Amino acid sequence: MLNMMKTLTACRGISGYEKGVSDKLLMMISPLTDRTWVDPMGSLLALKKGTAPEGERRKIMLCAHMDEIGFLVTFIDDNGFVRVTPIGGINFIAASYATVTFGNGTKGVLVPETGTAPADIKADKVYVDIGAKDKKEAERKVKVGDFCALEGSLTRLCGRRVAGRPMDDRIGCAVLVRIAQLLGETPCRDDVYFVFSVQEEVGLRGARTAAFGISPDIGLVYDVTGTGDSIGAKPMACSVGGGAAIKLKDSSVICDRALAEELAGVAKEKGMKYQFEILAAGGTDTASIQMSGAGVRVGALSIPTRYIHSGTEVLDLNDAEACAALTVAWLTREEKSGGNGTDAEAGAEAE
Amino acid sequence: MTLNQLIVSLCSLMTVSGNETCATQELQSLIGGAFDEMQVDALGNHLFIKRCGRPGAPKILVDTHLDEIGMMVTGIREGGFLSVINIGGVDTRILPAGEVAVYGKQTLYGVVATSPVHLLPAGDTEKLKPIGEMLIDTGYSKEELEELVPLGTPVGFRPVYTELAGGRLCGKGFDDKACGACAVFGIDAVPPRELAGDVYFLFSAFEETGSCGARTAGFGLRPDYALVMDVTHARIPDAEDRTLSPMGSGVSIAASAVTNRRLTRMTAELCRTQKIPFLMEAEPGNTGTNANVLGNAAEGIPTVLLSLPIKSMHSAAEVLGMEDAKALCQAVKAFISSREIAEVFGS
Amino acid sequence: MRMYSGQELVRELSQAFGPSGCEDGVRAFIRTQIGASCDGMTEDRAGNLIVRIAGRGVDYDPAEERRLMVSTHMDEVGFMVREITDEGYLKFSLIGQTDPRVLCGRHVVVGEENRTVKGVIATKAIHMQTAEKRTKATPVNKMYIDIGAKSAGDAEKLVQVGDYATFDSDLVPFGKDGRYIKGKALGGRLACAALIEVIRYLHASSCELAYDVYFAFTCNREIGISGASVAAFTVNPTLAILTGATAVNDLPGVSPEARVAALGEGCVLSLADRQTLYDAGLTRFAARCAEEGGIRYQIKQGDSDTSDGAPLQRSMAGVRTVSLSVPVRYTHSAACVASYEDYQALLNLCKAVICGLKP
């Protein structure tokens, strides 16, 4: 997991320009699955076929987003300073005086206009200094429409905790790859679709079209969630190191209650660490999947993370492992009489 | 059962968004008898079908939403208090010292805590706490609550219903189950052979959190045309800036860009000829209802929006006029029996 | 029916009555202007007009079902009558996002396509306002339309609650050699005019088309609950070109990085708007077409504004989408201003991209 995260945090891929991440993930996931493809929006999809006979396999969609927050170049002034617009929810205080990398490798520093009060640091008060003498030199390196993002990093802290960026949501991508690895050892009956979605940070866009294409029976999303365990945090019954966080609600979605309880039941039965998550502010791809097509039962296993969208997001790799292990336990659990538990009941009502 | 009784029975059900399937059995027994078939889908949409018996008949969708606003338990605090988060647009002004029901492993009674006004610093009495900082007093200990109230437990307003003068009814959940009751009454009043098509009555899920249920159900069902019913604001003394229908003036028919102009005109004409009281209500863009998403679902669904005027929407003491509710039943009845509409919009 | 082209076509479209939800007049006009110059014309259940030009040539393979959708919106901002006062004035609501500051004293047309009356948005005379009020914009709920009625009964004979209204504004060419034009509804209608001309061109010429091309004239864009999603669902395209207007702020005193784009600088290629990140590959392709064809273009700064990009791009399993538009000043007012040369650049770039796309 650590090595995977080292690789994934090293690639840049802001919303709309995810190719760098997509290429890396393709190399990781294709040996573990039966088929991979890229959809028109740019999401990477991979299918691992189930062991049950054709027609008896459910379609399970597991989704994590590839994109990270960043900036788009809007204007280059006469002195060669580069103006940018944010892509996704940027914390400008956290991003100020930090190094940014452009798609072609050019480096720059994001700085506020001199004299700007910290509270006033917004998109129109910052610029990127790439060290160019003038507009002409700057334009040789950077064009309007190019993207840049804060540099990626990964630092080991105590135990299995790590700090860096973008944990959101490369950790979810890593969990998906881990699940594919584990399913290689213990195959499951159902078809599992791994979806590495695009454009989550700008409005949960890629997961929606990917889900429409797949039309899954169940969708599960792997993303970071906020916690209540940092100093000054609002009360939230979710903490780093507390295990896989089974989402009940965030500001974009109310998850399928029966599915959440089913996941908790499996965790309890197997003695796996888990917690429930109710996130007051912040949305996830879960919402788009739920609303795609004729509607999908959805849930999410979140990785509790502190300081989300800053340059140093902190999480515990054990929580990420727990998400992967719980998913595999749920996918491969012994079928109770009657087949798929609550799902079969819901199906019976629908018939 | 009278219309009044059905309204109270349906509205007192706990159907906070995300918990629609908690009401499946009650719905089956309360209204299932009026239909040939019932289905529940992945999102908790409840679909009731009444067939006209003619093959190839138009598919008529009648939509009211099943879910209601409410709260969700996010934490258990010292001294037997619960913290909550809103589900849908909860008006925080009505919460302090309000009475709620906590639908945990058993249903608990609760009161939203508030501090004595004379102990607050001057000026603070006008401030409202955000809902995330409000607490619900349950009378149980923290340990007992941990056993009884799992995280994510829904919380709703305590269902109490009273009759006011002039056939006005007061209570929680009229948005939108009162319209649901009117739909059932209207549909039940039409014998199958008099129906203009097969009627798909959708008690949709997740309206209060963004019309998710109607969006997916509309996509899955592909009806020929649709009637959406929701509540609207009745005229009240301190809302002069908006032109609102006075309570008792019947059904409000929306003029809007999101609804179908011809279907709206035909429905208004239907009400006029059948002497069903109605008023036109201008809602140019966003209607704040499922009509927003149904009109554009899949290859487009011609939609008309009828509204029931109520007061104090999204509170524990919504007020409706029974004469308006009866007019709405009549309008549903006329709509689903209209051969003219079926002729124009049936495929 | 007379066939219009060039600036006359723009004029007729600009003056057609078509606020969101009431686009019938615009649609009927577009139908007559396209006439038989296409391989099929349908209207979907949301009121969108869809016009087909069949693919042809060596790269076209009907078995592949490659469809290109080219979209613009027909609707414009406007008003809806909310209440008729006892004295016969009309209180109204806005359809779409119009700045209340551009409303006072404007001429309007109220009614539906065949039943219209003229009116004016009146407000209190300056003498009757307090000094404080004079410097503040009047809110919409304090405005009313005067149609000259003497009483509510008088007014009800002419209009009813729920009726539509739009600005009443002529098309004026102005500036050196008449290079600018002023009119209402220029946002979508300039693109409507361009697409009509493109359809006529494709029908008459023998250029090769690797895709079946579906032109969609859509409804309800201005209210944000766009009919484009329905059109995209019906067409089920492989690729999409969104056309329309980009609201610009290229005025003195506005810093160069905040102007969005500039009038007279050519067709605008958008990288992003508030809801959409356009397909980078298709956008690069469009820029190359412009360079090769000597067509003036500019890249939009930033990601301001919303558009039909979102419903197109996110239709079904996703559609690669590019945005081409005309810069327009003072959008959503009675006096939108655009450059006729930019309009021609859009027209030419649409042609170049549609004909140039290869599978």
CATH number for position A136: 2.40.30.40
What number is the average pLDDT over the span A247-269?
95
pLDDT per residue over A29-59, tens digit each?
999 999 999 999 999 999 999 999 999 999 9
State the residue range of the domain holding C343. Answer: 6-76+184-356
Select from C121, C138, C167 the last residue of a domain.
C167
Select from C137, C167, C197 the last residue of a domain.
C167
Question: A63 and A76 in one domain?
Answer: no
Report if residue A159 sits inside a domain: no
A295 near A147, Cβ under 8 Å?
no
Q: Per-residue confidence at A125, pLDDT binned at 50, 70, 90?
A: very high
Is B49 an 8 Å CB contact of chain A?
no
Question: A59 and A187 in one domain?
Answer: yes
Minimal CA–CA distance to A274: which of A237, A219, A236?
A: A237
What is the spatial distance between Cα A10 and Cα A40, in angstroms, rounded to a whole number? 25
pLDDT per residue over C279-289, tens digit each?
999 999 999 99
What is the spatial distance between Cα A46 and Cα A62, in angstroms, rounded to a whole number? 10
Question: C37 and C126 in one domain?
Answer: no
Report if residue C1 sits inside a domain: no
Select from A90, A122, A150 the last residue of a domain.
A150
Number of compact structural domains in chain A: 2
- Best of A61, A225, A268, A291 to substitute, by most chain B Cβ atoms within 10 angstroms, is A291
Select from A150, A178, A206 the last residue of a domain.
A150
Q: Which residues of chain B fall below pLDDT 50?
A: none
Cα atoms in the 13 Å half-sphere on the side-chain side of A317: 19
C313 near C323, Cβ under 8 Å?
no
Question: A311 and A298 in one domain?
Answer: yes
Is B150 an 8 Å CB contact of chain A?
yes
Backbone angles phi, psi at C194, to 5 degrees: -60, -45
Quick one: closest CA in B to A294, which residue? B216
B110 near B101, Cβ under 8 Å?
yes
What number is the average pLDDT over the span A1-29?
95
Report if residue C176 sits inside a domain: no
Q: What residues of B are in contact with residue A208 (Cβ under 8 Å)? A: none
Question: A9 and A97 in one domain?
Answer: no
What is the spatial distance between Cα A10 and Cα A15, in angstroms, rounded to a whole number? 16
| Residue B118 CB contacts under 8 Å (≥ 6 apart), including other chains | none
Which residue from B281, B284, B300 is facing C230, i.e. has the nearest CB?
B300
| Residue B117 CB contacts under 8 Å (≥ 6 apart), including other chains | B125
Q: Is the peptide bond before A166 cis (omega within 30 degrees of 0)?
A: yes
Interface A-C, measured as beta-carbon pairs within 8 A, has a size of 63
Report if residue A161 sits inside a domain: no
For residue C93, what is the domain's CATH number?
2.40.30.40
Report if residue C158 sits inside a domain: yes
**Mean of per-residue pLDDT scores for chain A:** 92
> Taking a contact as any Cβ pair under 8 Å apart, which residues of chain B between 191 and 230 contact chain A?
206, 209, 212-213, 215-217, 219-220
Question: C206 and C65 in one domain?
Answer: yes
Q: What percent of chain C has pLDDT over 90?
A: 81
Q: What percent of chain C has pLDDT over 70?
A: 100
Question: C95 and C129 in one domain?
Answer: yes
Question: A340 and A238 in one domain?
Answer: yes
What is the spatial distance between Cα B30 and Cα B66, in angstroms, rounded to a whole number? 14
pLDDT per residue over C83-95, tens digit each?
999 999 999 999 9
pLDDT per residue over C151-164, tens digit each?
999 999 999 999 99
State the pLDDT at residue A346: 41
Question: C144 and C271 in one domain?
Answer: no
Question: A243 and A191 in one domain?
Answer: yes
Q: What domains are there in chain B, each with its CATH number? A: 3-68+172-345 (3.40.630.10), 70-157 (2.40.30.40)
Report if residue A157 sits inside a domain: no
Q: Per-residue confidence at A339, pLDDT binned at 50, 70, 90?
A: very low
Question: A291 and A242 in one domain?
Answer: yes
State the residue range of the domain holding A136. Answer: 71-150
pLDDT per residue over C36-54, tens digit each?
999 999 999 999 999 999 9
Q: Per-residue confidence at A340, pLDDT binned at 50, 70, 90?
A: very low
Say which DSSP state A234 is in.
P
State the pLDDT at residue B187: 98
Question: C288 and C198 in one domain?
Answer: yes
CB contact under 8 A, A75 and C318: no
Question: A96 and A54 in one domain?
Answer: no
For residue A313, what is the domain's CATH number?
3.40.630.10
Report if residue C173 sits inside a domain: no
A18 is catalytic: no
Q: What residues of A are in contact with residue B43 (Cβ under 8 Å)? A: 290, 295, 297
What is the spatial distance between Cα B152 and Cα B267, in angstroms, rounded to a whole number? 42
What number is the average pLDDT over the span C205-220?
96
Q: What residues of B are in contact with residue A248 (Cβ under 8 Å)? A: 72, 151-152
Question: C352 and C245 in one domain?
Answer: yes
What number is the average pLDDT over the span C327-337?
95
Select from A117, A150, A183 the last residue of a domain.
A150
Does A338 have pLDDT greater than 80? no
One-character DSSP codes across A121-141: --GGGEEEE---SSHHHHHHH
Question: C312 and C196 in one domain?
Answer: yes
What is the spatial distance between Cα B218 and Cα A290, in angstroms, rounded to a whole number? 14
The SS3 of residue C232 is: helix
Question: C277 and C191 in one domain?
Answer: yes
H-run or E-run covering B291: helix B291-294
Report if residue A158 sits inside a domain: no
Q: What residues of B are in contact with residue A255 (Cβ under 8 Å)? A: 18
Interface A-B, measured as beta-carbon pairs within 8 A, has a size of 81
pLDDT per residue over A140-150, tens digit each?
999 988 899 99
Report if residue C11 sits inside a domain: yes
Report if residue C177 sits inside a domain: no
**Long-range contacts made by residues A89-96, C-beta under 8 angstroms, separation at least 24?**
A89/A201, A89/A309, A90/A123, A90/A309, A91/A309, A91/A310, A92/A121, A92/A122, A92/A123, A92/A125, A92/A126, A93/A118, A93/A121, A94/A307, A94/A309, A94/A310, A94/A311, A95/A126, A95/A150, A95/A311, A96/A121, A96/A126
Quick one: closest CA in B to C230, which residue? B299
- Interstrand relation of B198-204 and B59-65 (parallel, antiparallel or unpaired): parallel
Question: C42 and C93 in one domain?
Answer: no
Select from C133, C167, C201 the last residue of a domain.
C167
Question: A306 and A240 in one domain?
Answer: yes
What number is the average pLDDT over the span A181-210?
95
CB contact under 8 A, B285 and C22: no
Number of compact structural domains in chain C: 2
Report if residue C172 sits inside a domain: no
Is C316 an 8 Å CB contact of chain A?
yes
State the pLDDT at residue B243: 65
From the CA of A92, how many Å to the nearest CA of chain C?
17
Which residue from A237, A292, A346 is facing B40, i.e. has the nearest CB?
A346
Q: Is the peptide bond before B176 cis (omega within 30 degrees of 0)?
A: yes
Question: C259 and C112 in one domain?
Answer: no
| Residue A182 CB contacts under 8 Å (≥ 6 apart), including other chains | A324, A325, A328
Is A216 an 8 Å CB contact of chain C?
no
For residue C56, what is the domain's CATH number?
3.40.630.10
State the pLDDT at residue B240: 62
For the annotated catalytic residues of B, the residue numbers are 207
Is B292 an 8 Å CB contact of chain C?
yes
- Which subunits count as partners of chain C given 3+ CB pairs below 8 Å? A, B
Question: A192 and A60 in one domain?
Answer: yes
Does C27 have pLDDT greater than 90? yes
Q: Tell me: ipTM over 0.85.
A: yes
Question: A205 and A278 in one domain?
Answer: yes
Report if residue C59 sits inside a domain: yes
Question: A209 and A118 in one domain?
Answer: no
- Classify each residue of C121-135 as buried b or exposed e, where b means 16 or more C-beta atoms within 10 Å of its C-beta: bebeeeeeeeeeeee
Question: C271 and C210 in one domain?
Answer: yes
- Which subunits count as partners of chain B given 3+ CB pairs below 8 Å? A, C
What is the spatial distance between Cα C236 and Cα A191, in angstroms, rounded to a whole number? 27
| Residue A239 CB contacts under 8 Å (≥ 6 apart), including other chains | A227, A228, A229, A275, A304
What number is the average pLDDT over the span A1-22?
94
pLDDT per residue over C121-142, tens digit each?
987 777 877 777 777 888 888 8
Question: C86 and C52 in one domain?
Answer: no
